[in-house]
Amino acid sequence: MGDTTKDLEAGTVPPVYQNKIMDKQEIKSIRAQLGFTQTQLARYLDLSVKTIQTYEQGKSVPSGLVTKVLRHIITSKSFKRAFDSIEI
């Protein structure tokens, strides 16, 4: 696959990859649902704030592992309950 970010913006991501790629709107939405700042999300995922910013600006896309973790957090009720008790 070519440049994932450009493919995503152009709508040319092959169907096999579409559920594996997280676009900037989805990342922002998940962060908002968690009530996290970019700094808090970066700390939780052990990433730099700059990395979170590039994801949210659409300059790059998260790895498959980061995508899976974020989607799991947001869809798992027990995970979200545990998340509420974490101070970041």
pLDDT tens-digit series, residues 54-83: 999 999 999 888 988 888 888 876 665 655
Supply 51's token pair: 């990395």
Q: What is the spatial distance between Cα 79 and Cα 66, in angstroms, rounded to a whole number?
A: 15
pLDDT tens-digit series, residues 6-45: 655 665 544 544 556 788 999 999 999 888 999 999 998 9
pLDDT value, residue 62: 92
pLDDT value, residue 86: 60
Domain harbouring 52, CATH code: 1.10.260.40
Domain residues for 17? 4-84
Say what the pTM is.
0.68
Q: Which of 88, 46, 83, 43 is nearest to 65 (CA)?
A: 46
**CB burial readout 55-84, b (16+ within 10 A) else e:** bbeeeebbeeebbeebeebbeeeeeeeebe
Residue type, 62: P
pLDDT value, residue 41: 92
Q: Which uninterrupted H or E stretch holds 71?
A: helix 64-75
Total domains present in the chain: 1
